[in-house]
Structure 1
Amino acid sequence: MARNDITYSTSDFSRKSGDIIAEALRRPVTITQRSKPRLVILNIEDYERMRQQADARLVGTLETMPDALLDEVENAIEEYAQDDEGVRP
């Protein structure tokens, strides 16, 4: 949860939905249920910004992975396989 988020319970939301929606137009509002965060209400501009940022992420593949990182992954897999072989009876 971000520091500027405001938190309300689900029962607060039932009683004060208009006030909570007005607050969500200014900043994200977290709705909790049994003291656990369950929902976030935010204005459409923030939501659209988050969606655009998510769409801008690049999906990595083995082909696009830097050689040094691929080497580390391969070495880790080989070490794991060797350790696993040594454990078998």
Structure 2
Amino acid sequence: MPRTGGSYSTSDLSRKSGDVIAEALRHPVTITQRNKPRLVLLNIDDYERLIRQSDARSVGTLETMPSELLNEFEAAVDTYAGTDETNR
């Protein structure tokens, strides 16, 4: 039967592949080797969602940065510059 927390060893995977796959269809399952996490099995819907999310990331510039974030960035730079001046 599945272990608590959705974690299986590589030997469990060999011996109980049906149980491991059934659980991975419900939620991600960690596969351990020598008591260290080595792999994660997850259903295709979760995998595709992760791929879509990673593809949505993009590089921006100061010109494309949202104004709230730009204001925070400028304040942080000003704070850092002020700290640098006092340490000289």
TM bin, normalised by shorter chain, reads: 0.5 to 0.7
* Percentage identity across paired residues of the two chains: 76
Q: Which residue of 2 aligns with 1:15?
A: 15
CA contact (8 A) 1:5 1:27 kept: no
CA RMSD of aligned residues (A): 2.7
Give the whole-Å Cα distance in 1 for the aligned partners of 2:41 and 2:57: 23
Q: Normalization by structure 2: what TM-score? A: 0.64
Shift of the alpha carbon at 1:58? 1.3
Q: Which residue of 1 aligns with 2:26?
A: 26
Q: Which residue of 2 aligns with 1:47?
A: 47
Shift of the alpha carbon at 1:60? 4.2
Question: Deviation string for 1:21-79 (max 9, x for gaps)?
Answer: 0000000000000111000000000000000000001124687679xxxxxxxxxxxxx
CA contact (8 A) 1:25 1:43 kept: yes
Q: Which residue of 2 aligns with 1:85?
A: none
Give the whole-Å Cα distance in 1 for the aligned partners of 2:5 and 2:23: 10
Q: Which runs of 5+ in 1 are unaligned?
A: 67-89
- Structure 2 vs 1, CA of residues 63 and 34 (structure 1 numbering), >3 Å: closer, same or farther? farther
Which ranges of 4 or more aligned residues in structure 1 deviate by more than 4 Å?
A: 60-66
Number of residue pairs aligned between Structure 1 and Structure 2? 84
